[in-house]
Amino acid sequence: MPPEARGSIPARSLKVKTSNGIERLVVSERAIDNNEIGIGWPIRTKDDLYLVELPSETQSGAWRIWVHRDQVSEHEELARA
């Protein structure tokens, strides 16, 4: 029986460029739109950085990461994956 038939949700492993390097996380395929993931509004800003909350935990255990402003599509509130 295929995994989808058993109720599992297809997921994808992503790399996200942060201010401190690359973070990896796994998200549902449904959370990805045009190679971007929804993050909501930035929690904080500092110079050209945004503190954003991810839809799932990174492999290092972080839910919030600092990303460069150019990694965020402001109008869509999406982070480039």
- Please give the tally of structural domains in the chain: 1
Model pTM score: 0.74
The Cα–Cα gap between 27 and 23 comes to 13
CA dihedral 20→25→27→32, nearest 10 degrees, is 40
Q: What is the pLDDT of residues 10-22, one digit of tens each?
A: 888 889 899 999 9
The Cα–Cα gap between 18 and 51 comes to 10
pLDDT at 46: 94
Domain range for 34: 3-80
For 67, the token pair is: 């990303």
Q: What is the pLDDT of residues 18-73, one digit of tens each?
A: 999 999 999 988 888 888 888 878 899 999 999 999 988 999 999 999 999 888 87
